[in-house]
Structure 1
Amino acid sequence: MKLFNILIQQSRVLNRSAKTLTSPQLPLNAYTNAPQQHPNLILSSLQLLFWLSFRPLAWRNHLKRIDPNLESDSSVIILLRRGRWRNLALWRLFIQGYLILPILANLLVPILANLLVGLILWALGEPIAFSVALDVKFGVTVGVAAGVAAGVTVGVAAGVAAGVTVGVAGDVVGGVTFDVTVGLAVGIARGVASSVVGDMTRGVAFGVAVGVAEGVVLGVLGGVAFGVAVGVVGGVTRGVVGGVTAGVAAGVGVTINLWRPVLSFPFLIVWNYLLYRLDQKRNGKSPSLLRYHSAFWDEWQHLHLPALDKHLLFVITHNPVEGKAALEYLSTSRQRWAAQAVQIELDARSLQGCADVEAIREAHRILIIDELENELSPSLILKMFSRISEDVDAALNQASAYNQRLALRAFADKLNLQLENFARSSDKYTVRFYPIIKSWREIVTKYVEELAKITELRQEIDLPYIIGVPLTREQEIFTGRDDIGLRIEQLLLDHRRPPLLLYGQRRMGKTSLLNNIGKLLPSNIIPMFVDLQGAPSSASDHAGFLYNLARDMEKSAKKQGLTLPSLAREVLKSDPFTYFDEWLDKVEQALEQNTALLALDEFEVLDNAIAKGRFDEQDVLGMLRHLIQHRPRFKVLLAGSHTIEEYQRWASYLINVQVVHISYLKEAEARQLIEHPVKDFTLRYESNAVERVLQLTRCHPFLVQLLCAEIIVLKNEQDPSIRRLATLADVEAAIPEALQSGSFFFADIQNNQVDATGQAILRFIAAQGEGAIVSRQTLLQQFSDANITFSLLLQRELIEEVDDGYGFQVELIRRWFI
């Protein structure tokens, strides 16, 4: 009794806690695989039985909540013997399984048995009233029939109960589960035995007594004989039928979770539809009836439940908190298709709500794409919208209205192509997203027009220069380098097929040249640009490296109008280099008569990955060497700010490397970059101003753009009457701003390209003034044993040798070191 009192007090505490934790927006125990048990012992016992039959996850989580170490294959009795007797929740489970559920079974089984016998007799076409009237009134037949029928009925009920119990126990195998089901089975067995023995005894005794009395009194021996015969035959028939039925029920019960979802499906459709209609009539009143939908309590139902996505979307629209909880629950259930369909629709509505370019640029941050598993079409569409959003974001990050307009115009052209593709498709998702992409195109086009009007009204000078990032094919500011393109073309025609190294200092335009090299080479040479500073070198293994390498090759070739076969990452896991080599065979077939130029930028990064042991030197560099020697359709071009000699491992694999040096622009190319960077450029320079820019930058492509960009910023702050003519004073005024805004470039030279001795030498020369030449003898007096440092500074193109002395090559770099 003391234990019962403790459990009752605990139930009251649970009841108060449940009321405290209930959210006003989210019903208790809704949309969770770990619902709380009802505080009432009887109702919670029935709840356990329901979980065993329909929600095995809730059952397992309930066991975990009782004891984190409690598994479904543990035994309650054994756990109690092992010292867990202080755990009241464990005692509660024990009492529910061995006491309350058996008692309920004893009470319910006879009632269910009597109901079931009536249904069986009715199904056999012999209603009870007719059967009794057919036999001798209150005769032996009534007793025999009642006893046999009751026994048969109980047998059927027992068979069904046993079958269900076995089926459930078979699906949720375990010690605790077995304890509960055995407790329930014991109760049912006792009820069955009591019912059978009691009904048979009372039925036979009553039948014999009444039958004999009536036979003696009335003397109707024939009636008695007839009644006995009919009663016995009927009882035997019912007994046989009942026995067969019980056996079949027991067998069917074992596979209950296979056939029950199918048989119950029509009823669940009606039930779920009624819930949906009721929610609609309630206008989405919270809490909704969605929590009673079978998707949230029948874990065995594997068939798609119609209209579940519509109901879920309706609830999310009217009650977002509850709807999002239901969405999260369904995303890991058998009905995840509904969660995916609703998420796609939510994304579509979000995209449709983008009313300006600012909203479009943020759209990629909120899209849910990775969760889509089987819906290939919407996944691709959402990825497309994500890329569009990222492109708009990148365009709006441009410093000038001109560059924004340039990028957005190119983006609008891409949208027009997408619209054409959408218009030709009848796919339901394409139809759904077509008006959205059309709306985005109109928003971007309108914004470009507004930018043009604002620029014209303000008479601002467009800033066409790209600072700090490589120039792409779409940016017309790319200038010159025809001589380098011609040199590369000549080397590609060399029958020895030597690997090429594009060597030059940082910010000399190596990557910009590789991005635009297709403009400088014949059309039969297909550049495949790969930035080794990106995904390939950051991969964790060879499979990841080769997959990223192939993917970048595909993307680059596609920009040239060539579609390469795809290479799946999973294929590479077992034997990466073999499968990659087979993929190259397919690439050669796709090339037909063309030649592939594999351009690997920032090869030093890959060398660092090899040095750290992430990749094997022999495997990776051996693969490149094999490609160069045995695949004449492929040419390899490396690009970096170091020579191959500085990386000996590369020199041993890539024999006969031909160096293509990229340095300063030619003077004519630099003048064009200053005075006519793009068509219709509105700023004009005085001649001495152009000469001063050339003197300060020495035609360094990055520094020309850096200084000219600061000149434009300065001019846009001046009065419109003098805004569009740059003078010598304007150039001088822009120098401090250029040193400040380009500090990342100069700091890289100072911190990463020279050592402490080199920095000291550069500061010493810089202090001598603009154009100063310091004799070698003077420098050796100041810095003895610095011959190696002088050679490094010359190689980095920071200083140059003039007669018997040294001076800075670039005046702006000298000013940084003052």
Structure 2
Amino acid sequence: MTSPQLPPNAYTNAPQQHPNLILGSLQLLFWFVFRPQAFHNHLKRIDHSLEINFLNINRLRWKNSALYKLFLQTFLILPFLNYFIVSLVLAVLGTPLGNFPLSAFLGLLFVTAFGSVFGAGMGIGQSFGIAFTQGLIFGISFDVGFSVAFGVGFSLNFDIASVLALSLPFGLGLGVTSAYSSYFVELDKKKENQEVSTTMPTNVRRLKSLPLLIIVFSALILFLIIVRLFFINPQFRNAFPTIILGLTINLYLPILLYPFLTVWNALLYYLDKPTIANKRTLSLLRYHSAFWDEWQRIPLIGLDKHLLEVMKHKQVEGRAAMDYLNSSPQRWAAQAVQIELDARSLQDCADVEAIREAHRILIIDELENELSSSFILKIFSRISEDVDAALNQASAYNQRLALRAFADKLNLQLENFARSSDKYTVRFYPIIKSWREIATNYADELAKITELRQEIDSPYIIGVPLTREQEIFTGRDDIGLRIEQLLRDRRRPPLLLYGQRRMGKTSLLNNIGKLLPNNIIPIFVDLQGAPSSASDHAGFLYNLARDMEKSAKKQGLTLPSLTREVLKSDPFTYFDEWLDKVEQALEENTALLALDEFEVLDNAIAKGRFDEQDVLGMLRHLIQHRPRFKVLLAGSHTIEEYQRWASYLINVQVVHISYLKEAEARQLIERPVKDFTLRYESDAVERVLQLTRCHPFLVQLLCAEIIVLKNEQDPSIRRLATLADVEAAIPEALQSGGFFFADIQNNQVDATGQAILRFIAAQGEEGIVSRQTLLQQFPDADITFNLLLQRELIEEVDDGYGFQVELIRRWFI
């Protein structure tokens, strides 16, 4: 069943005008009073120039028949209707008309002439308001002696001289303004086309300010006339309160109309509710005052309920209504409905697959004013992303591990929700509780399925750093001890954790709290993320502080917050004051500020986004003058390769992270986690060690592929890895780890280095090429040899060179 098409004038700020002259004129008046956006859009539809305050007559396209129709309705039909309404009201009240017809006739002529002049100089929108709207209000309230005509928002009982005195200066000023604006527009065009000199003559510059002087002079004359009338004319003085009421009508009229609008809207909902489910007909929502009274800013009772009912049964119409309300004073209703729709869609998530997709459909950007709801929806969006990331894990074991960590987070959220009485928190509490049960049940199902199939769970994490929650993190006790010793050095030197990519630097930083005493609190910041992506110093320091807060919270320490607004005027001063508060929060503890990927920040400095002296000077000052802070940089380059850092961070102590110890690598192979079900033959373990040289990433890569291979075998031989299994897994490891090997080839060595590596690789496993042979093949390559040694790709063996890692050699062969 198809939905009916929306009428052209429903849920739009640009409705079509009725073709009848009288009805169209009244519609124009209605738009001006209640729907100013519709009025302005109507003017723009006729001619865009009509919307310009001091429009240029030459811009108007006078062949446009709609333009003549507009002038006819604005300056003849509506003033005549004004005269007719006032006459009718006076007759009903039994007031003698006296000389009213004559004064009204003169007023009608004045309005026509006045509106024409104003329309030429000031714009139709402004002249219409001046020429008619207030006249309808005050023409009714004044007695017979007052004319319907008025000039600037009120009716005046002037003699002809007074009328001319009022209209002439404004008409002259605006007319001159229009003519001069036309002249200077043409002058600017010629200047752009270089048809005239770019230097404007002094007399022309003075001439350009003449219209402004005329308008100021005219405004002064108008003010004097009003003051004179107020003191010498009792009728004007008595009418003055009415004038003020008319000028402020948009302030109090919405309040006066609110009870009547509430009754009207409730009646619409009552009549609409029984038939709203019929998709073949439109609802009555389009007649709701929210869609024709733009001045009403008081929330209209029941609008959200009516809109929600329409959204449930007529989504096309409901979405059109939502789009309209989002740019209106009643946008609260659209936001409330969108929140309820989101809540219902989240509530309908019956399994983990639905939960993982939820963040793709949530609408959060439009809810800036609803801070509580926006925050809650962001929580659900992050939860959905976490579930998606968990289900993207390659093995059922890692999926279960991630889902259990996710369930723990949900328990914390449930505790926070239970302590809040906010209406949105109460609404979303059952949903987050349901999600936790779904995730927990799915993790239990994964465990049952794995056990039933006798599959081997793969605990290995490929390509992403290990977190504190992952049991697989192994060893590095010697590095932890070295870092602890340097942190106790009274000289407080900065530290550099240096090692090749995928050696486990970030994994170590994520888990370093396990290796250090409890009074040292690691605060981890990834400079590859938001800090180095900021566009200015305030953004850099704000993101740095925010990441420090997040990391400290994981360690059980709550740091004071730092807002972006505070940093705008003097970022480094306010950041330094924030560090004072952080030191107070640390009490007797020491903070280890670990800045990972410092090379990314160096690139941002090199591009000019940040000032070298400000940023690096701040780090040096922190190291030298804040004993509660220790700074540890991490990267795959030495400080000597970045001279600007070496000049600021003096006496840097390097902590080298390289291959695992053999015992640590054996544990990673045979007992990566508790209750690991795969067993290895001794020669299979030795082969893994030979192929990887205890490289942490390559050990995990090869062992993960061995598990994939074993899960494809018969259950009778599945849980014992042999030497043949290791050899069979090598091609798959080279393919699945292609991003690691390609990074070496494309980003860590140049063309000469690649040629050298291929030449050595061709010599076979454990092949050695003498230095003399290499220099004959690659003369003047001493610098490249040193770089390959520094990158730990090759090593010196006797008087030659060979690959350090067999798997890397096989990639280059």
For the aligned pair, the TM-score class normalised by the smaller chain equals 0.7 to 0.9
Name the amino acid aligned to 1:114.
A
For 1:729 and 1:259, how far apart are their aligned partners in 2?
A: 88
**CA distance in structure 1 between the aligned counterparts of 2:146 and 2:414, rounded to whole angstroms:** 80
1:494 is aligned to 2:484: no
Corresponding residue for 2:592? 597
Question: In structure 2, what is the Cα distance between the partners aligned to 1:539 and 1:363?
Answer: 29
Give the drift of 1:182: 5.6
Tell me which residue corresponds to 1:281.
274
CA distance in 2, matches of 1:796, 1:666: 19
Partner of 1:61: 41
1:84 counterpart residue number: 61
Cα deviations across residues 316-346 of structure 1 (Å, max 9, x unaligned)?
1121111111112112211122122111111
Equivalent residues in 2 for 1:682-697 (5 A)?
682-697=677-692
Evaluate the alpha carbon distance shift between residue 189 and residue 542 of structure 1 in structure 2; reply closer, same or farther with a 3 A threshold.
closer
Q: Structure 2: how far apart are the matches of 1:193 and 1:256?
A: 14
Q: CA RMSD in A?
A: 3.0
Structure 1 residues 384-418: Cα deviation after superposition (integer angstroms, max 9, x where no partner):
11111011000000001110001001111221222
CA distance in 2: counterparts of 1:600 and 1:672, whole angstroms: 29
Question: 1:814 Cα shift?
Answer: 0.9
SS of residue in 2 equivalent to 1:147: coil
Q: Establish whether residue 793 from structure 1 lines up as the match of residue 788 from structure 2.
A: yes
How far, CA to CA, are the matches of 2:32 and 2:389 in structure 1?
Answer: 55
Amino acid at match of 1:417: L
Of stretches 29-38 and 519-528 in structure 1, the one that deviates more from structure 2 is 29-38
Aligned counterpart in structure 1 of residue 96 of structure 2, from 147, 172, 197: 147
Give the aligned residue type for 1:696: L
1-structure distance, mates of 2:381, 2:139: 65
State the 1:370 CA deviation. Answer: 2.2
Structure 2 CA distance for partners of 1:147 and 1:755, relative to 1, 3 Å: closer
Is 2:604 aligned against 1:609? yes
The answer as to 2:354 corresponding to 1:359 is: yes
Segment of structure 1 superposing worse, 702-711 or 93-102: 93-102
**In the alignment, is the contact (CA less than 8 A) between 1:99 and 1:183 conserved in 2?**
no
The secondary structure found in structure 1 opposite 2:634 is strand
Q: Could you tell me which residue of structure 2 aligns to residue 454 of structure 1? A: 449
Aligned residue in 2 for 1:130: none
Q: Which residues of 2 match residues 291-690 of structure 1 at below 5 A?
A: 291-690=286-685
Q: Is the 8 A contact 2:134 2:247 kept in 1?
A: no
- 2:687/2:723 contact within 8 Å kept: yes
The alpha-carbon deviation at position 106 of structure 1 amounts to 3.5
C-alpha deviation, 1:352, in angstroms: 0.5
Residue in structure 2 matched with residue 121 of structure 1 by the alignment: none
Distance 1:814 1:185, change over 3 A: closer
**Deviation at residue 429 of structure 1 after TM alignment:** 1.4
Separation in structure 2 between the aligned mates of residue 251 and residue 814 of structure 1, nearest angstrom: 89
CA deviation string 1:445-470 (max 9, x = no partner): 11112111211121111111000110
Amino acid at match of 1:177: G
Partner in structure 1 of residue 125 of structure 2 = 177
8 Å contact 1:563–1:590 — kept in the other structure?
A: yes
Give the equivalent residue in structure 2 for 1:254: 247
Q: What is the CA–CA distance in structure 1 between the aligned matches of 2:463 and 2:382, rounded to whole Å?
A: 22
Structure 2 counterpart of 1:268, from 253, 261, 280: 261
Contact 1:114–1:153 (CA<8 Å) still a contact in 2?
no
SS of 1:562's partner is coil
Q: Which secondary structure state, in structure 2, belongs to the residue aligned with residue 70 of structure 1? A: helix
Q: Could you say which residue in structure 2 is the equivalent of 1:49? A: 29
Higher mean displacement: 803-812 or 61-70: 61-70
Further displaced range: 606-615 or 665-674: 606-615
Please tell me the residue identity of whatever aligns with 2:429: Y
Distance between the aligned counterparts of 2:704 and 2:759, measured in 1?
A: 30
1:70 aligns with 2:44: no
Relative to structure 1, the CA distance from residue 181 to residue 812 in structure 2 (aligned partners, 3 Å threshold; closer, same or farther) is closer
**Which consecutive residues of structure 2, in runs of 5 or more, have no partner in the other structure?**
148-232
- Tell me, what secondary structure is at the counterpart of 1:501? strand
Counterpart residue identity of residue 267, structure 2: L
CA distance in 1, matches of 2:578, 2:145: 78
- The answer as to whether partners of 2:414 and 2:432 remain within 8 angstroms in 1 is yes
Tell me whether 417-426 or 702-711 shows the greater mean CA deviation: 417-426
Cα distance between partner residues in 2 of 1:533 and 1:616: 18
Is 1:102 aligned to 2:82, yes or no? Answer: no
Counterpart CA distance in 2 for 1:314 and 1:556 is 45
State the alpha-carbon separation in 1 of the partners of residues 139 and 595 from structure 2. Answer: 81
Amino acid at match of 2:266: Y
TM-score, normalised to structure 1, is 0.83
Q: Check whether the contact 1:154–1:196 (CA below 8 A) recurs between aligned residues.
A: no
Q: Counterpart of 1:629 in 2: which secondary structure? A: helix
3-state DSSP of counterpart to 1:544: helix
Query: In 2, are the aligned partners of 1:288 and 1:315 still within 8 Å (CA)?
Result: yes
Letter in 2 for 1:42: I
CA contact (8 A) 2:479 2:655 kept: yes
Per-residue Cα deviation, 1:129-153 (whole angstroms, up to 9, x for no partner): xxxxxxxxxxxxxxxxx637x8899
**3-state secondary structure, aligned to 1:734:** helix
- The alignment status of 1:768 with 2:744, answered yes or no, reads no
Q: State whether residues 102 and 185 of structure 1, in contact with CA within 8 Å, keep that contact through their aligned partners in structure 2.
A: no
Helix, strand or coil for the counterpart of 1:599? strand
Whether contact under 8 Å (1:155, 1:246) holds in the other structure is: no
Report the CA distance shift for 1:687/1:188 in structure 2 as closer, same or farther (over 3 A). closer
Tell me which amino acid in the other structure corresponds to 1:526: I
2:745 is equivalent to residue 750 of structure 1: yes
Partners of 2:500 and 2:132 in 1: CA distance: 82
Displacement of 1:242 in angstroms is 9.9
SS of the residue 2:50 aligns to: coil
**Contact 1:152–1:243 at 8 Å: present in 2 too?**
no
Contact 2:499 2:635 in 1 (8 A): yes
CA distance in 1, matches of 2:546, 2:318: 39
Q: 1: CA distance between counterparts of 2:794 and 2:676?
A: 34
Structure 1 residues 83 and 770 mapped into 2: Cα distance closer, same or farther (>3 Å)? closer
Task: State the 1:154 CA deviation.
Answer: 12
> 315-324 or 366-375: which moved more?
366-375
Identity of aligned residues (%): 80
Distance of 2:566 and 2:743 partners within structure 1: 41
Which runs of no fewer than 5 residues in structure 1 stay unpaired?
Answer: 1-22, 119-145, 200-239
For residues 615-654 of structure 1, the C-alpha deviation after alignment (integer angstroms, 9 at most, x for no partner) is 1111111111111111111111000000000111100000
SS, match of residue 527 in structure 1: strand
Q: Quick check: 458-467 or 84-93, which moved more?
A: 84-93
Distance 1:551 1:191 in 2: 63
Distance 1:443 1:534 in 2: 32
Seen in structure 2, the aligned counterparts of structure 1 residues 396 and 682 have a Cα distance that, compared at 3 Å, is same
Offset of residue 27 of structure 1: 2.4
Task: Describe the SS at the equivalent of 1:69.
Answer: helix
Deviation at 1:109, TM superposition (A): 2.6
Letter in 1 for 2:276: N
**CA distances 1:568-610 after superposition (whole Å, capped 9, x unpaired):** 1121112111111111111111111111111111111111111
| SS in structure 2 at match of 1:800 | strand
CA shift for structure 1 position 744: 0.8
